Structure 1
């Protein structure tokens, strides 16, 4: 058997309140790039469901920028590392790894020849460094800042010029190459958030926490004008700016929850895009890109807003998770799947177009523990001590209090729901708790067979307690004791005759439910806690995911026959399922959902 990555449903861009996000596009304007966690994501602008992921950083990535050639990306992380890597093909070959400053990288700028890079951030001994993309040798000195530098830009044609801006409220204008200090500009009265040159290099613009927008001569650094004195300007921090291709307009994104397009000649606002209807800080606009006809502004919530200047309307919004995905379920009709994340958000996704839809009423106030698809409804359990049952068609939501942390949930075909809390097993029918059974062990996971007759409860004592369910009454039948770690995931086969039990040691046993015999004992290749197990429709295969970042697809007919998908999700796999006999879906802490085509040899 073998597996091939079929699709990636990418994370939304990471965003932190009070900080801007530096987005970028390739030179053709086909793709844009951003970061979330330890990953860099490249997505197609017209078809954002087409995505690629780069996962070679060992800590959180803070910024990524395309080289003007389009062949390389330079990405920086919170420890001061910059990696330059190939974007052509799937190998993502590393060209250079260097540590230009001893602290978080805030921004990266390439020169127009794709030869030189300036990286800026919050270092201990310096805040910026200019170096060659080939080899990492210095190509000048960026000096003049006394605090962290937030942004950098290089004029794309000769004579080269560089400008940086930071928390010291100043702009440093440097001649190049090699880069040397020309002048320090002190027009801003707040943090400088972003600087960018126009495409022809005649002008550069700066924006900051003071809400100001200044224009400067691209060759001399002399101030040309201030845009922010215009009527209908921003009333809060301006986090980001981008120029139009012809250099006659620019777009700005602000904490006042608007994005605005400015006319350079008239110094006036041409368009305003308002996102304040969200009723919270999530509507703050923290980043943007403008390349050709593609004009996007990023919300603090991670929403990517496609702006239409001809109507001053948002033509499209791409939504996603910003925090690690902790739960996954596939709908019975296999047309949609559901995800829950660390921050409590629940979303529905269409397989055919990759669009994510937040389900606000179904979301939780804390981490989503588990999701289960069941006919025309799905069930979610959260760390807010509730189970929610959502009707997929009507979106009606029933909320059931569990009075304790739900460690696991499961549902049968007749819509009986079982919930495991630490010392109690609860039975829910018709949207109400109808019975419960106190247990003398710490329950950690639970499963009910499709027929609704048998319940399995995993425990911290490494045992699985098999129970019969008669109506609403539970009674223990026998105990399964082959596992050697806390039982972390349970799943019945479609017929309800076999039970797969994964544990904290990374081992999976498959038991005969009737006899308690361990039918399969050699699925031992995970090296950390098994987080999720699911059976294929035929019952001939089982998929498992683990904190070890790996996914395995196992054969129940040939015990040692398996497919290994190493490093499926950086930081760990939290959910797996079969879409059909030949397609597996997985989700993880890298905030991604991925589908894999399985070939059964």
Structure 2
């Protein structure tokens, strides 16, 4: 324990004490890491061999590393283009392997977080991976029904095991590396000879999540039948079954000594079982469905990951919760600028609407009231009101000045995805998953009209420039006469998203082939097809002058298009995950995007340069710039959740105080936006000195401790 305490102290002193000049020339790169946690369900967990680090995989397409002792999020590793399904440390602890729905396996350097290699070959999602005990091979199981062995040095396929008739969900090596077990949706467990690839045994197990006991004699399994089963690996005979879960089992794991079996379930519990007697030893209750398990190498603690993006560390002996990791941020679903561009409003997966003042000292107000995710937010044309639509089936109206709720519009029978004010602010249209558009009187809150007949969920609505025609995008595009409610026209073709140009002449729609179609809003005739996105288009926005179209996609990119020519002007890898919303400021000089990574980013449309990133936390926020400057509303004398990574040494987080006086900039976002528009940023911000030359503050007692 003394060694574990002493090393971090030496690191802090080396970085903070200017008298230790020998450390300074080596400090050439610094990165501010904001600990946000995962933004979607945690799918897999793994402890490092020394037990100091946990790796977590998630449907947010990232792998994150955590310090077990402090709970610090050390690094987020990004690169996968779809859900990450499995994660493992190599036996020597130097490499992390991850598997994804993007059909790849990726290898990462544990010290720097850098991607070392991509392994390709599977023709379906890769659901499971396992290192051989000597670390020379990696096994993988896929939706293509195969189990494959790969050479760790070359990344080449060594062997292929065929026999499963449905996706392979789980995989494990025996302790001696001679046997591989795989669990599949075909409800069988298969035992393979790792050297020859021959199938030794097939167990009709009705299970597909598996783990081999440390002695290699037993397989544990679980599935949607809610039962944990133990099997003799040599004979295939069922030894025991444990009942108690009330919903599907998502993961199973033996303790390192083999004396305990853990199971995680959709019933929001993790249970520990005695493999000899079958009795339930402990039960851990979490707030969300439990999806992933990992025992620490010493067996004293168990980590579980849940649907609500949180990792729990449990004391195996006492059954008590030791620590929670993550769960700090939520998706940004929708974003809009105020008419004067001094504020933005955002809608989030944590049921909140957030109003941000972005001119002068930044302020954030949470508007609470929705009981489910907020899918759409919008300022009225005069900026005095905000409308929000939610998965709770309601539309809410908020007063900007008082930050309070004005009205709740109820009528939709399913989630509300889209909103549009008339230009005079007297009426509000809402589009819903119930395939209707409803028109509301803003003053009275009454429903004026209902427009039906959409062939799918209504994901976007728009009024034309004189508010006489209402367009709705849901399955197809339809237009209605606002006064009479009469259907005017219908444009065929599947539509993921829709936007109307400021002059109401051009209609942009996202298509099933991931392209964007520009149509004549009057006739529906195709004008241009914009191709480039590799996944569904989630958001579209015209610039105020109508010359540029911005698009955000599930492929993580934000793209800018020339409306007149159809040419792609800029392509930005804006977020590591989905780009849910894009909006221009009303003067067109700033572009903002909201992503499934829980961040809000600001860009210059002309150059596609990133200006700043806003990271919303629960009641706090952090603003960062690409150069490393930051601002926060956190108390500066007690900042948690931020640290520096120096020279890519991700396992050695450096306290924020180390570079505070050089990188902390009050009112950062407002200053960046203003100086960008005025072209005065060189005068507003002094150049940062080289990291190695920074005269750092001397360590304080609080830091050294």
Instruction: Please tell me whether the aligned partners of residues 534 and 576 of structure 1 are also in contact (alpha carbons under 8 angstroms).
Output: no
1:113-161 residue CA offsets vs partner (Å, 9 max, x unmatched): 432122234556xx423332344555567578687643211246xx324
1:252-291 to structure 2, matched below 5 A, reads: 252-262=263-273, 268-274=279-285, 284-291=289-296
1:132 alignment partner in structure 2: 151
Instruction: Please tell me whether the aligned partners of residues 245 and 267 of structure 2 are also in contact (alpha carbons under 8 angstroms).
Output: yes
Instruction: Please tell me whether the aligned partners of residues 380 and 389 of structure 1 are also in contact (alpha carbons under 8 angstroms).
Output: yes
Larger strand percent: 1
1:105-116 to structure 2, matched below 5 A, reads: 105-116=126-137
Structure 1 residues 314 and 416, CA gap change in structure 2 (3 angstroms): farther
1:481 alignment partner in structure 2: none
Larger helix percent: 2
TM-score, scaled to structure 2: 0.52
- CA shift at 1:260, angstroms? 1.2
Does structure 1 residue 208 correspond to structure 2 residue 222? yes
1:413-451 residue CA offsets vs partner (Å, 9 max, x unmatched): 99855216799883532460376799xxx99643799xx
For 1:287, what is the secondary structure of its paired residue?
strand
Pick from 445, 460, 473: which aligns with 1:432? 445
Structure 1 residues 391 and 115, CA gap change in structure 2 (3 angstroms): farther
TM-score, scaled to structure 1: 0.60
1:170-195 residue CA offsets vs partner (Å, 9 max, x unmatched): 6555565x356695385x75324221
Structure 1 residues 184 and 6, CA gap change in structure 2 (3 angstroms): same
Pick from 107, 120, 128: which aligns with 1:97? 120
- CA shift at 1:328, angstroms? 0.9
Instruction: Please tell me whether the aligned partners of residues 141 and 179 of structure 1 are also in contact (alpha carbons under 8 angstroms).
Output: no
Structure 1 residues 507 and 95, CA gap change in structure 2 (3 angstroms): closer
Structure 1 residues 286 and 174, CA gap change in structure 2 (3 angstroms): same
Structure 2 CA distance for aligned equivalents of residues 415 and 584 of structure 1: 24
**Larger mean Cα displacement after TM superposition, 246-255 or 390-399:** 390-399
Pick from 147, 152, 162: which aligns with 2:179? 162
- CA shift at 1:222, angstroms? 8.6
2:389 alignment partner in structure 1: 380
Does structure 1 residue 585 correspond to structure 2 residue 606? no
Instruction: Please tell me whether the aligned partners of residues 117 and 155 of structure 2 are also in contact (alpha carbons under 8 angstroms).
Output: no
Pick from 306, 309, 320: which aligns with 2:312? 306
For 1:289, what is the secondary structure of its paired residue?
strand
Structure 2 CA distance for aligned equivalents of residues 114 and 314 of structure 1: 31
1:17-416 to structure 2, matched below 5 A, reads: 22-24=44-46, 27=49, 30-36=53-59, 40-45=61-66, 46=71, 51-56=76-81, 62-68=85-91, 69-77=93-101, 81-87=103-109, 92=115, 94-99=117-122, 105-121=126-142, 123=144, 127-135=146-154, 137=156, 139=158, 142=161, 149-155=168-174, 159-167=176-184, 171-173=189-191, 178=195, 184=201, 189-198=205-214, 205-209=219-223, 211-214=227-230, 228=241, 233-234=244-245, 238-244=249-255, 249-262=260-273, 268-274=279-285, 284-291=289-296, 295-299=302-306, 301=307, 303-304=309-310, 306-309=312-315, 310=318, 312=320, 316=324, 327-329=333-335, 337-339=346-348, 346=351, 361-363=371-373, 368=375, 370-372=376-378, 378-380=387-389, 387-389=394-396, 398-401=408-411, 408-410=418-420
Structure 1 residues 486 and 44, CA gap change in structure 2 (3 angstroms): closer
1:388-419 residue CA offsets vs partner (Å, 9 max, x unmatched): 10669788971333799988424599985521
2:40 alignment partner in structure 1: 12
1:419 alignment partner in structure 2: 429
Instruction: Please tell me whether the aligned partners of residues 438 and 447 of structure 2 are also in contact (alpha carbons under 8 angstroms).
Output: no
1:534-566 residue CA offsets vs partner (Å, 9 max, x unmatched): 889xx9x999334495425899xxxx9986414
1:545-556 to structure 2, matched below 5 A, reads: 545-547=551-553, 549=555, 550-551=557-558
Instruction: Please tell me whether the aligned partners of residues 44 and 56 of structure 2 are also in contact (alpha carbons under 8 angstroms).
Output: no
Structure 1 residues 235 and 436, CA gap change in structure 2 (3 angstroms): closer
| Number of residues of Structure 1 aligned to a counterpart in Structure 2 | 507
2:620 alignment partner in structure 1: none
Structure 1 CA distance for aligned equivalents of residues 276 and 436 of structure 2: 70
Structure 2 CA distance for aligned equivalents of residues 268 and 287 of structure 1: 22
Structure 2 CA distance for aligned equivalents of residues 507 and 90 of structure 1: 39
Instruction: Please tell me whether the aligned partners of residues 416 and 429 of structure 1 are also in contact (alpha carbons under 8 angstroms).
Output: yes
Instruction: Please tell me whether the aligned partners of residues 170 and 209 of structure 2 are also in contact (alpha carbons under 8 angstroms).
Output: yes
Structure 2 unmatched runs, 5+: 1-30, 357-361, 485-494, 510-514, 520-528, 604-608, 610-675, 680-705
- CA shift at 1:527, angstroms? 5.7
Structure 1 residues 128 and 326, CA gap change in structure 2 (3 angstroms): same
More contact order relative to length (CA 8 Å, sep ≥ 6) = 2
Structure 1 residues 107 and 533, CA gap change in structure 2 (3 angstroms): same
- CA shift at 1:253, angstroms? 1.0
